[in-house]
Amino acid sequence: MFKLLSKESNIFSIPVYIGCLLLVVLIFNILNFNTYEAIVAGITFLGIALGYFCFHSIALNYQTHLPLFLYTFFIFGLYPGNLDIGIAVSLLTNSFLLLLLTSTDEDIRKKSYVLVGSIVALNFIFLPTTWPMAVFVIIHVIATSQRIALNLFRFLLGIILIAFSYFSIMFFFQFTSWNIDYFPFGKMKPMTDYTKLAPLLPVALMLIYAVYDHFTNYNKKSPISRYKYTFLLVFSVAQLITIILYMNKSYEYLLLLAFPSSIILSRMMRFLPKYWMQEVCLWLIMISLITFKAGTYFDLF
């Protein structure tokens, strides 16, 4: 299977995976279909579908089917069906951020910081626990921009525009009280029971090895590959902070790591020295995700 998925992919193969994604979303939502669930499922579908195009934007998959397949399988294994609208919006905004921040055109990235700030603010409104994403963007601006102060101003301007619009709308509808529960920093309760995550341990170990292998062979990578991989790692750390601090038993938060995990694992398998190692890793990932899905669906753990 690994050899089949390692064949060259192109933009025309993406609709096939999007079709599989649509099937997964429909199957998990068909039994509890209503207007609200339909809206959430639609946002989720758009966010995840945009992720397929992000693979070509970040260009770390060597144009193979493997990361696309892994991404689809991660969605199948981690998607619970009744997704919270905050997570759905976060998946959508993350896809837009990846498309904008990984653009190879410096002029596009420079001019998009107002939009990036708006997207981050919108993400915070729907899911305040995603505040680490704002920190990630600030670090990205400082690390990659030649005119740091100007681009930070553009980013903050985008946030201010959305915040002003949001408070204006709330004031218009006479929502003038502030709910302190909306402030996420007082609710940091790292999870202590990892029993239900046990089936994902092989995937976690492979991710750790993949990062270790990357830095072991760091000097062998091209400058562009090092830059984009570092971007992906910092992006993953931002998502991981949110997961550790706020997930508890809301395992749908793991969907935030589906995209970066797919690229990291596919690159790790590509550079393994033996074919049997690649095949074993691929099947181990699939079995881990199926076991986790079965465990959460039937409450086995």
Which sequence spans correspond to the domains of the chain?
14-298
Cβ distance 159 to 120 under 8 Å?
yes
Kindly write down the DSSP assignment for every residue of 206-241, as one continuous string. Answer: HHHHHHHHHHHTGGGS-HHHHHHHHHHHHHHHHHHH
User: Would you state the pLDDT for residue 12?
Assistant: 53
Of all residues in the chain, what percent carry a pLDDT higher than 90? Answer: 28
Strand partners of residue 8? 64
47 vs 12: which has the higher pLDDT = 47
- Taking alpha carbons only, the member of 124, 139, 133, 44 closest to residue 97 is 133
Rg (CA), the chain: 20
CA–CA distance, 202 with 147 (Å, rounded to integer): 43
Burial pattern 252-271, b for ≥16 Cβ within 10 A else e, equals bbbbbbbbbbbbbbbbbbee
Range with lowest mean pLDDT among 13-22, 33-42, 182-191, 219-228: 182-191
With the CA atoms of 122, 116, 207 and 82 taken in that order, what torsion angle do they form, in degrees rounded to the nearest 10? 20
Token pair listed for 215: 């830095």
- Look at residue 74 and tell me whether its pLDDT is greater than 60: yes
Single-letter code of the amino acid located at 37: E
Band of residue 94 on the pLDDT scale cut at 50, 70, 90: very high
Q: Given this model, what pLDDT does residue 117 score?
A: 93
pLDDT of residue 2: 62
The pLDDT of residue 100: 87
pLDDT for 21-61, tens place per residue? 878 777 776 666 677 778 888 888 898 888 888 887 787 76
Is the pLDDT at 224 greater than 90, yes or no?
A: no
Question: Per-residue pLDDT for 79 more than 80?
Answer: yes
217 alpha carbon, distance to own chain's centre: 25
> Which of 135-139, 166-170, 250-254, 294-298 shows the lowest mean pLDDT across its residues?
294-298
**Residue range 266-301, pLDDT digits in tens:** 888 888 888 888 889 999 999 999 999 888 776 655
Q: Which of 71-75, 90-94, 220-224, 269-273 has the lowest mean pLDDT?
A: 220-224
**Has residue 185 got a pLDDT over 80?**
no
Residue 279 CB: number of other CB atoms within 10 A? 15
Can you list the alpha helix ranges (DSSP code H) found in the chain? 2-5, 14-29, 35-58, 66-78, 85-101, 106-111, 113-126, 132-144, 148-172, 201-216, 223-246, 258-270, 275-298
Nearest of 264, 301, 256 to residue 285 by alpha carbon:
264
Calculate the average pLDDT of the chain. 83
pLDDT reading at 10 higher than 70: no
Residues 6 or more apart whose Cβ sits within 8 Å of residue 299: none
Mean of the pLDDT values across residues 1-10?
64
What is the C-alpha to C-alpha distance for residues 92 and 44, in angstroms, rounded to an integer?
A: 7
In total, the chain counts a number of residues equal to 301
**% of the chain exceeding 70 in pLDDT:** 87
Instruction: Reply yes or no on whether the pLDDT at 157 is more than 90.
Output: yes
Model confidence at 159, pLDDT cuts 50, 70, 90, reads very high
